Structure 1
Amino acid sequence: MAQGTKPMFVGAGRHHEVFVSGRHWRTRGDALLTAVAAAFTLLQLLLVRPSMGLGWDEVVYVSQVGTEAPAAFFSAPRARGVPLLVWPIASWSDSTVLLRVFLAVLSGLALYLALRVWRRLFPARVLAGAGALFTTLWITLFYGPQAMPNLWVAFGALICVGCFVRARRDRFDHRALWGVLAGALLMAWMRPTDAVWVTMPLLGLAVAARHWRLGSALATGLFAGGVQWVIEAYIGYGGLRERLNEASRIQGDLGWNLAVDDQLRSLVGSTLCRPCDIATPHVTVFAWWLVVPLLAAYGLRVAVRAGRTARSLIPLACATTAAFPYLFLIGYAAPRFLLPAYALLAVPVADALFHVVTTPNGRWRPAVAAVVGLVLTGHLVVQYSVLDRTVDRITAARDAWARTATELHRLGVRPPCLLTGHEAIPVAYYAGCASGATNGHNANTTRADILRTTRRVPVGVLTRPGHEPPHHARDWELHRLDGLDVRIAPTPLAGGTA
């Protein structure tokens, strides 16, 4: 052993007990986590096409800082974390490919950092396994390169919870305190309400155990990440309560709603199940969803028997509160809502799997390992199949928006311009126009304002084929474009005034 290098103990519970040099242990562990993070980035670039256009929600976020089109309406539930996340690219480039590559690399780096904070709590192979389990879900891969908040809440949750457990075990671990603050800040920056749900057990534990420094770090992170959202609530909505009420209304009035079955059905590749009236998918699609809680419970049992209960119980508790509103309080489903819960569950689940395939002295059980490996291989095949179909379907839909925008340009609807009606927000972004709505969740204008705008710039109304347009647009020129009826206002007179 090299002089000055302290021996480090690798393993806990039933993991193989072996002493190696601290430097070798750290290098090997870092290599494992780096490999998982690099594979995550590579799989995103290979399986989720960087050329895939921006989705509806992405358009809203990117347009706040981008140059492609005027900023779309920013509704009450949304937070400014994603616009700031994409600002380094979107503020000067309209390249979707460049933005997706940037986000894929950034999410790979975030995964590495999120797993690394757990290094003092679990062996590196468990953490690498947790990362592999989480990142091979079709949901994680699909949203890795997208400008959406949920995966970043998941990374923040891993960082915050892992550092919380570390700081609770070692009051001299000052880096862990900063990690708690940073993780909470990231979550609140992306989705303040999700951050509160994730950290409920942590706040309760900090108060109950009188860990005031730990509680202060957590509260400071939540405040720093959410203060802008709160200030915006008072400026634009009349107060925090009013913004929360408006957010609840947009999300279908939060209350007791059993959405477990909706979330299960959405696993087939439905990115938004509202209303969730699709058929229940084949059992191979959702079997993992039923197995994960059982493995998590087994992982907790292992931790209790090994005398390290908190390391598994705390992330399980946070995963439960993170999932609760999306399983029981909301009337629709989207698989991405549960990404923070999946990320937190991955660590105890990976720990449980390693205990299943190894003996108490750390030796492999060949037969059991072979069965588990076969099951995981089948799981990966199913995940890839769902991802492939989802990417194909979503890409086709976004290509249709781009084609509609091209046709609008051909018809004379060019920036500056205004589009209203069905799917106006994404189509307007692709066309470089502003978007508007007189009713619904994204209402931001009036009929009188729209009519005044027709005197200055091209204005179009989009409707589903066969649906009646607004009364003021019934006499406008009708064009049928790629699944949409488009009515264009008469060309404004040169030098016309509002």
Structure 2
Amino acid sequence: MTDGTGALLTRTRRRVRRPGPGHPPRGDARPLAVLAAVFTLAQLALVRPGLGLGWDEIVYTSQVTSHHPAAFFSAPRSRGVSLLVAPVASWSDSTALLRVHLAVLSGLGLFLALRAWRGLFPTRVLVTAGAFFASLWVSLFYGPQAMPNYWVAVGALTAVGCFLRHRADPASGGPLWAVVAGAALMALMRPTDAVWTTVPLLALTLAGRHWRALLALTGGLLAGAVPWVIEAYTAFGGLGERFEEASRIQGGLGWHIAVDDQLRSLGGRALCRPCTGSMPHPVITLWWFALPLLAVLALAVAVRARRTLRTLLPLACATTAALPYLFLIAYAAPRFLQPAYALLAIPVADALWHLVTAPRGKWRPAVRALAVLALAGHLAAQLTVLVYTVDRTADSRRDWARTAAALHRLGVRPPCLVTGFEAIPIGYYTGCSSGAIAGNNESTTAGEILRTADRVPVAALTGPDGAPPGYARPWPVHRIGELEARIAPAPGPGARG
């Protein structure tokens, strides 16, 4: 070997740094990109871009549109989703375009969140975790929707993964900026969820006196929560008043066991309030009971492999993220637990790979065959619930559109006002403002409604078995399906215009 060749090999060895025990190889990001692309395409194919906007979506989207009046924005809500949809909703009223925009963003968000975990777990574990989370009907259904919980999940995955990467390599400043970004995203979408989710991270940084990590976490949380806090003082009278009003709207925060409510919602109920009726078929809820068992197995595997923290921390954050929705509110929605599902996905995927690779000899093919069958059953159950949920949701939103068309025929056209039963969604579909004199969306008074009727068309809607409001009883009644619409008489000539 010549001296030149030896020098070249020496330089090559120096450039190729082998990862130490605390720094596993990063792995290839391309499988994660493929998974994210499949997730995006599956949303567009299964949920369909033409699905009309839902009630909560209307509230968030109407804040930034120029073609619809803004709906009442209640105390628990945050402005993050409105910012997310603004690049499209601010200039276009196309629901399909908005769905495509959100589906692409949700796929990109999943890719970046999983990428934050590279070097902590093998690529196959991250792909499996992403596939599990993306295959849940609640992820596919809400990915292209203007709702906050999926984005809290993305922020949580990013923050926890990059927090662990910083712990593994404190000299690297890059992961800390991603911790800031993940925490800020969570707080921008739902400030209280962000705090619950990061409790284990905050406790760990305080106990270990990791001041840089603590600064990153608290800085991100505060940055994301600033708009919510400012609005608390400008619109609700202060931070304490906003928390109190938010608690009232959510039925009074306190000790409520909502585990059974969450189970009922897994059958495809977007909002379970009140949560009555029978439980879904056990096949639909089986995965939910398997999660804690797989989480325990993942922790046992991690302890044995001496990598406890990277498994324990996402499990702890998933637990604190789920606690308020399992034990502190008296109703349920499946989307509430999305951050918990996303955080559980990483250790659960690690446990699944242990299950299919640990057995030796004749047991390995049997275990792998069982895993394939379980995977097929899981996908079949999730797709069944998804199709049912999409069809039922599409029907309800078509009902709103039909009611809006009937109101147009009755002369209720923009500018106008809709009050009463489902006033927010029906008002949006009609192109009108919406108002309520009582309830969680109270935003006006009977006197203001009557004064508005002197200027623009006003419709008061009454649902099945409902009673009309006193101010609208003298108005002419029109039947629209199961609803009654009372239309304010037009004032004298020249009063409107």
Decide: shared fold, TM above 0.5. Answer: yes
Q: What amino acid maps onto 2:265 in structure 1?
A: S
**Could you tell me which of 9, 16, 21 is aligned with 1:6?**
16
Post-superposition offset of 1:495: 2.2
Secondary structure of the residue aligned to 1:365 is helix
Q: Which residue of 2 aligns with 1:389?
A: 388
Q: Which residue of 1 aligns with 2:258?
A: 259
Q: What amino acid maps onto 1:427 in structure 2?
A: I
Post-superposition offset of 1:6: 2.1
> Alignment RMSD, CA only?
2.1
Q: Which residue of 2 aligns with 1:402?
A: 401
CA distance in 2, matches of 1:9, 1:380: 37
* Cα distance change of structure 1 residues 11 and 477 upon mapping to structure 2, 3 Å threshold: farther
Deviations 1:221-274 (A, max 9, x none): 000000110111111111111100100000000000000000011100000000
* Cα distance change of structure 1 residues 253 and 153 upon mapping to structure 2, 3 Å threshold: same
Deviations 1:284-340 (A, max 9, x none): 010100001100110011011101000000000000000000000000000000000
CA distance in 1, matches of 2:69, 2:353: 51
Q: Which residue of 2 aligns with 1:177?
A: 176
Deviations 1:412-456 (A, max 9, x none): 100000000010000000111000000000001000000000000
Matches within 5 A, 1:59-138: 59-138=58-137
Deviations 1:83-140 (A, max 9, x none): 0000000000000000000100010000000000100100011000000000100001
CA distance in 1, matches of 2:488, 2:20: 71
Matches within 5 A, 1:303-342: 303-342=302-341
Q: Which residue of 1 aligns with 2:461?
A: 462
Alpha-carbon contact 1:107-1:145 (below 8 Å) kept: yes
CA distance in 2, matches of 1:256, 1:450: 38
Q: Which residue of 1 aligns with 2:477?
A: 478
Q: Which residue of 2 aligns with 1:290?
A: 289
Post-superposition offset of 1:3: 4.4
CA distance in 2, matches of 1:361, 1:371: 15
Secondary structure of the residue aligned to 2:461 is strand
Q: Which residue of 2 aligns with 1:357?
A: 356
Q: Which residue of 2 aligns with 1:189?
A: 188
Q: Which residue of 2 aligns with 1:238?
A: 237
CA distance in 2, matches of 1:33, 1:138: 20
Deviations 1:374-431 (A, max 9, x none): 1111011010000000000000000110111111111110000000001000000011
Post-superposition offset of 1:364: 10
CA distance in 1, matches of 2:488, 2:481: 19
* Cα distance change of structure 1 residues 205 and 459 upon mapping to structure 2, 3 Å threshold: same
Structure 1 stretch 208-217 or stretch 459-468: which is displaced more?
A: 459-468
Alpha-carbon contact 1:160-1:181 (below 8 Å) kept: yes
Alpha-carbon contact 2:53-2:95 (below 8 Å) kept: yes
Alpha-carbon contact 1:403-1:482 (below 8 Å) kept: no
Q: Which residue of 2 aligns with 1:226?
A: 225
CA distance in 1, matches of 2:228, 2:192: 10
Q: What amino acid maps onto 1:258 in structure 2?
A: I
Q: What amino acid maps onto 1:255 in structure 2?
A: G
Alpha-carbon contact 2:456-2:496 (below 8 Å) kept: no
Q: Which residue of 2 aligns with 1:214?
A: 213
CA distance in 1, matches of 2:254, 2:221: 24
Alpha-carbon contact 1:358-1:364 (below 8 Å) kept: no
CA distance in 2, matches of 1:213, 1:436: 47
Secondary structure of the residue aligned to 1:277 is coil
Post-superposition offset of 1:214: 0.3
Q: What amino acid maps onto 2:16 in structure 1?
A: K
Q: Which residue of 1 aligns with 2:50?
A: 51
Alpha-carbon contact 2:478-2:486 (below 8 Å) kept: yes
Post-superposition offset of 1:497: 7.6
> Structure 2 stretches of 5 or more lacking a match?
1-8
* Cα distance change of structure 1 residues 362 and 484 upon mapping to structure 2, 3 Å threshold: farther
Q: What amino acid maps onto 2:103 in structure 1?
A: A
Q: Percent identity?
A: 63
Secondary structure of the residue aligned to 2:29 is helix
CA distance in 2, matches of 1:250, 1:466: 23
Q: What amino acid maps onto 2:187 in structure 1?
A: A
Question: Do structure 1's residue 162 and structure 2's residue 161 form an aligned pair?
Answer: yes
Post-superposition offset of 1:68: 3.0
Secondary structure of the residue aligned to 1:93 is coil
Q: What amino acid maps onto 1:224 in structure 2?
A: A
Alpha-carbon contact 1:188-1:195 (below 8 Å) kept: yes
Question: Do structure 1's residue 493 and structure 2's residue 496 form an aligned pair?
Answer: no
Alpha-carbon contact 1:11-1:123 (below 8 Å) kept: no
Question: Do structure 1's residue 437 and structure 2's residue 439 form an aligned pair?
Answer: no
CA distance in 1, matches of 2:384, 2:121: 32
Structure 1 stretch 63-72 or stretch 265-274: which is displaced more?
A: 63-72
* Cα distance change of structure 1 residues 11 and 263 upon mapping to structure 2, 3 Å threshold: farther
Matches within 5 A, 1:21-36: 26=27, 29-36=28-35
